[in-house]
Chain A
Amino acid sequence: MKEKAEQIKSELMSSISSINTLSDLANLKAKYLGKTGVITELTKNMKDLSIDERKEVGQISNILKNEVTEIIENREKEINDAILNEKLKNEVIDITLPSKKIKRGSLHPMTRITEEFEDLFVSMGYTVFEGPEIESDENCFQKLNLPKGHPARDAQDTFYLKDEVENFLLRSQTSTAQVRAMEANVDKGPIRIVCPGKVYRRDEDATHSHQFMQIEGLVIDKDISMADLKGTLETMMKHVLGEKTQVRFRPSYFPFTEPSVEVDVTCFKCGGKGCNLCKQTGWIEVLGAGMVHPDVLTMSGYDPKVYQGFAFGTGLDRMAMFKYGIPDIRTIYGNDIRFINQFDRKDED
């Protein structure tokens, strides 16, 4: 019996490889597994056998039936695969033909750089504080320790609005946010803000636009020092210009901070070795900062004996120009679509 089963199986194995169509396979299947097929034949005379023999024949024929079924099904899958592969061969396309383009939009580079600064400072617990672009002389200058007639006003040629007296202006610096934030804080407690925004000055050339953007930062608390300022600016400049960026303090003068510093960063073009961009010094001046002047705190209702703080302000346009290598500030506000279109992808983190 066993021998017979083995023989049936080997006959099937030898004949099946020559079967290449599904109809031939169906015939073969009928030949082995059909009602009058080979395996049915095998068990035909079962009733004449003893119980033990019957058991043996039943077992053997069942195993054989399963094996034969599997062999035929495998072959069926092979034939189907071959048919499919043949079909796919005829569906080959030219993948080098142009794609069906989807319109790309973009955010303005100034929006991108602003968001970069905002995200960093928000992650450090700062609130993005917004102020109006039309500002009073009082908020923009007087409460920042720049009374009328102060010589430091020369540094900012301001647009005044048509008014009987020179009372209102287009803000010439986001530092005015310092005053607004302090006055808005009714309980005169700690403050942590950044204020990005448009500012305006009567000035126009390759490095100056009459409209540009600044970001001002202000932290007021009980124990804030120049060292905290430097640490914060180091974090900021590394974030925007790269981990290798170093920060340098030079003493300077702003009426609303005391002490005041100019802040330089290592030239991102040459890494500090010296090049045309940094005029061979290895450093580029990027912002002004300092400790909030006690008079400024007092004028906005803070007690300088209890609170001290730092403030800094930098030109966002300059940052964008550095970061993206834009040579002329007028390009930023020219809105040439070929310029704007360049800022349409994710930047490297």
Chain B
Amino acid sequence: MKLSRKFVSDYIDLADNLTIERIADDMTNVGNEYDSAGPLINCTKLVTGEIVECVPHPDSDHLHCLKVNVGKEVLDIVCGAPNVKVGLKVIVALPGATLPGGEIKAGVIRGCTSNGMVCSKAELGLDNKFLVDKDRDGIHELPADTEVGLDAIKVMELDDEVIDFELTSNRGDLLSVLGMAYELGAIYDKPVKDIDLKYSSNSDDVNKEFEVKVETEDCKLFLAKKVKNVTIKESPEFIKNRLIASGIRPINNVVDISNYVMLETGQPLHYYDANRLGKTLIVRNAKEGEKIVTLDNQERTLSSSDIVIANEKETVGLAGVMGGLNTEVEEDTKDIIIESAIFDAIKIRKTSKKILRSEASNRFEKGLDPRRTYMAMERSCALLEKYADAEIVGGLVEVKDLEIEDKVIDITFAKIESVLGIHIDESEIIAIFKRLGFDVEEGKESLHVTVPTRRLDIKIEEDLIEEVGRIYGMDNIVGKSPILDVIRGSYDKTRREIKHKLADLGLNETMSYTLIPNSEVHKFTKDNFTPVTLNDPMSEDRNTLRYSLLYSLKEIYAYNKARNNSDISIFEMGKSFYSENGEYKENLRLAILMAGEFTLGVNKENVDFYHIKGVMEELLYFLGYDGRYSLKIDDSIPCELHPGQSASINVNGTDVGIIGKLHPSVTKDNVYVLEINLTKLLEIRTGSMKFKEISKFPGIVKDVAFIVDNNITSLEVENAISKSAGKLLEKIEIFDLYPNISEGKKSMAYKLTFSDPSKTLSDEEVMEVFNKVISDVENKLNAKLRN
């Protein structure tokens, strides 16, 4: 909402020393933020002048050398406009003048002195939509009787200031100059002046010649009146300039008055050509698929939630949003039907979102004061009589299905103090209500506050408390510590500790987007699920909620690699989404990607499967799953992983994730990934940490190497050893691997530690077990002891 200072000054006295910036700041402090505040025309040193001499420039085919009388002196000015001639009254920018296009300097143009510039209207910086061709093509011609040497902006009545407010959606009342006047009145403790609603009517009754039928629930108040014999012409300067200051393009006096009254009262109006409209006006919901050509000459297809205005023959307007082309006021219009009505806010919002958001629809959407509906009708008649020579037909067509009543809200001083947390004197509270234009009656136990209908936003006590806080100054509330019970705060420690653990292991945490392309959602998983997709995505790249996080990590790898960073070890924790039996589900997942060099302790190495396996083990150990997990090679490995270098991660018999190398079809680089469903993993209980007796007796270490078939896994050998050795075996570690020692065979060497917590083992005892291990492994795995 753009507020013109001149416009609002019709209704409230603003002290001259109040700068526009100050007013804007004071409004902000009561909750009405602004985008900009300043003069309508941002120019200096513009004066009125008269062209007293005009000769063609000797060195140009279009320039003229002018002598311009600016009062105190006569200036030489070179000018290129086609419409220059002696005797014209013009706008002159003196040397040193600032215009939106830059500063004007005295100088020489192709050999002729030029001490200033004669201006077009466009050069003053008005928005393009307020200009016509002649404003751009030639210098502006001031009226012939203009005195020279005066401030040109003042002479043109453009010496206005404007605040562009960004209002909150509850304050529909501020979408009017009058509403603004009340707000400023509350801030500066000034009364709001009356609006002039006086006009004379003829003795006819409009109800005898015109009828309104409301056939929908979505219109609770509809007023119509007729005026006759209007003269369509240009509006007076003040109307045009105030419209321009408010951001609306002037058209002709009749159209301008409808907009002017809307700006003043906040009530949108529609003027119909009475002869084109006919004798009956119907308000109804549109039929499904019904078509209308709107004022902008476009055909629109409607649905039943749209409200339309029709006459006996056809649809003539889209209520609250835009009129129809067929009943528009035109140059030859004589008689007018004025519509002032209230349509359902939500319906208008829906229609306008679909078709066009306009000044009118914006006001309907926020809700209207029915008193203003009447006021706008009266004000229209008053202005049409004055500025369009209208003859006002007596009577008012009125279809009304609502009560117009001020609200009375009861409130106590104690409640105000309890919500704001500060004490404000009772007399000050009452004064604030009065400044806002609310009547206050002091009852025995509470205040009865009467809120005028224009404040649709005030419904309950808390709304009144906000009004007190706003005007008193919200920032005058002094902060304090709440007095609350001492209780234990809490957060999800496990999740946080996992992140810290992985960072400590040298991985960098990433945070990527949940939304991914639909084409990628089933990748990196073999799970069968229904993905969750968006109804109205911003782009096809982001139309589906991710299930696996690995797509995102792969993209991050590619992004960084393209920037010459291929040493990437990253992790991300985030939600995984899917739908199951019509219900949306979310799981927490952890994904890891490792590629390039990784420094472990002091060894810089290229990442391989065993690095990422190490990270996995470290994490599972940390979470308490040591000895309870295994890697399984089964058919749950997605095709994006290398079939020979990947596995599913199984904890306590449950598959919780996958680990492995990316398939060469995904990337040619050696990239290793892991993904764990944390929701699933963390459901598996681990038991609490407990002290274990440390053996006081030294262990005995024995080394053994077996030659086995290449397809025997280390785990199989370890399991065979453990099973055979029994409880004296404390630890088993592989320390050497020799692949292809002979055709199809490999050698695997293990260090076995034997101990007994109750005594020192003798060599004989150990040898007995050790020899059993050797023969058992040889038999079971078709192995040979390597000597």
Q: Report how many A-B pairs have Cβ atoms within 8 Å.
A: 254
Assess whether A250 is in contact with B511, with CB atoms less than 8 Å apart: no
Assess whether A111 is in contact with B509, with CB atoms less than 8 Å apart: yes
Complex CA–CA separation, A337 to B545 (angstroms): 24
Residues of B within 8 A of A124 (CB): 489
Assess whether B466 is in contact with A111, with CB atoms less than 8 Å apart: no
Complex CA–CA separation, A150 to B510 (angstroms): 37
Assess whether B565 is in contact with A104, with CB atoms less than 8 Å apart: no
Using A108-B510, A337-B560 as known contacts, say yes or no to A249 and B474 having CB atoms under 8 A apart.
Answer: yes
Complex CA–CA separation, A260 to B488 (angstroms): 29
Assess whether B462 is in contact with A105, with CB atoms less than 8 Å apart: no
Assess whether A105 is in contact with B502, with CB atoms less than 8 Å apart: yes
Assess whether B489 is in contact with A105, with CB atoms less than 8 Å apart: no
Using A111-B499, A225-B421, A250-B475 as known contacts, say yes or no to A122 and B586 having CB atoms under 8 A apart.
Answer: no
Complex CA–CA separation, A210 to B507 (angstroms): 27
- A76 interface residue per 8 A CB criterion: no
Annotate A286-306 by CB proximity to B: 1 below 8 A, 0 otherwise.
000001011000000000000
- A134 interface residue per 8 A CB criterion: yes
Q: How many residues of B contact A (CB 8 A)?
A: 89
Residues of A within 8 A of B536 (CB): 159-160, 202
- A204 interface residue per 8 A CB criterion: yes
**Which single member of A103, A161, A251, A333 contacts B600 (CB below 8 Å)?**
A103
Complex CA–CA separation, A244 to B506 (angstroms): 35
Using A250-B474, A337-B508 as known contacts, say yes or no to A259 and B491 having CB atoms under 8 A apart.
Answer: no
Assess whether A230 is in contact with B169, with CB atoms less than 8 Å apart: no
Using A134-B584, A250-B28 as known contacts, say yes or no to A291 and B419 having CB atoms under 8 A apart.
Answer: yes
- A166 interface residue per 8 A CB criterion: yes
Assess whether B474 is in contact with A259, with CB atoms less than 8 Å apart: yes
Q: How far is the CB of B175 from chain A (nearest CB, A)?
A: 11
- B563 interface residue per 8 A CB criterion: yes
Assess whether A162 is in contact with B533, with CB atoms less than 8 Å apart: yes
Q: How far is the CB of B367 from chain A (nearest CB, A)?
A: 9
Residue of B nearest to A211 (CB): B513
Assess whether A219 is in contact with B482, with CB atoms less than 8 Å apart: yes
Using A124-B489, A219-B484, A341-B508 as known contacts, say yes or no to A226 and B477 having CB atoms under 8 A apart.
Answer: yes
Using A159-B534, A308-B418, A334-B559 as known contacts, say yes or no to A251 and B482 having CB atoms under 8 A apart.
Answer: no
Among the 9-residue stretches B121-129, B204-212, B344-352, B441-449, the one with 4 or more Cβ atoms under 8 Å from chain A is B344-352
Using A111-B499, A227-B480, A233-B479 as known contacts, say yes or no to A101 and B599 having CB atoms under 8 A apart.
Answer: yes
Assess whether B477 is in contact with A249, with CB atoms less than 8 Å apart: yes
Using A104-B506, A105-B503, A334-B559 as known contacts, say yes or no to A128 and B492 having CB atoms under 8 A apart.
Answer: yes
Q: How far is the CB of A195 from chain B (nearest CB, A)?
A: 11
Q: How many residues of A contact B (CB 8 A)?
A: 90
Assess whether A160 is in contact with B420, with CB atoms less than 8 Å apart: no
**Which single member of A126, A200, A258 contacts B463 (CB below 8 Å)?**
A258
- A154 interface residue per 8 A CB criterion: yes
Assess whether B559 is in contact with A333, with CB atoms less than 8 Å apart: no
- B609 interface residue per 8 A CB criterion: no
Annotate B166-196 by CB proximity to A: 1 below 8 A, 0 otherwise.
0011110000000000000000000000000
- A252 interface residue per 8 A CB criterion: yes
- A224 interface residue per 8 A CB criterion: yes
Task: Give residues of chain A (113-172) contacting chain B, Cβ–Cβ below 8 Å.
Answer: 115, 118, 121-128, 130, 132-134, 148-152, 154-155, 159-163, 166, 168, 170
Other A-B contacts than A192-B489, A340-B570, 11 sampled, CB-CB below 8 A, are A110-B511, A125-B488, A163-B535, A198-B514, A210-B513, A211-B514, A252-B33, A253-B168, A253-B169, A258-B462, A333-B512
Lowest 6 A-B CB distances belong to which pairs? A227-B421, A225-B421, A103-B506, A251-B31, A149-B346, A230-B479
10 A-B pairs, CB-CB below 8 angstroms?
Answer: A101-B602, A111-B509, A125-B487, A128-B492, A252-B31, A293-B462, A337-B508, A340-B510, A344-B503, A344-B508
B residues contacting A by CB (< 8 A) are: 28-31, 33, 168-171, 345-346, 349-350, 365-366, 418-422, 460, 462-463, 465-466, 469-470, 474-475, 477-492, 496, 499-500, 502-515, 532-538, 542, 545, 556, 559-560, 563, 565, 568-570, 575, 577, 584, 586, 598-602, 604
A residues contacting B by CB (< 8 A) are: 100-108, 110-111, 115, 118, 121-128, 130, 132-134, 148-152, 154-155, 159-163, 166, 168, 170, 190, 192, 198, 200, 202, 204, 210-211, 219, 221, 223-235, 247-253, 255, 258-262, 291, 293-294, 308, 332-338, 340-341, 344
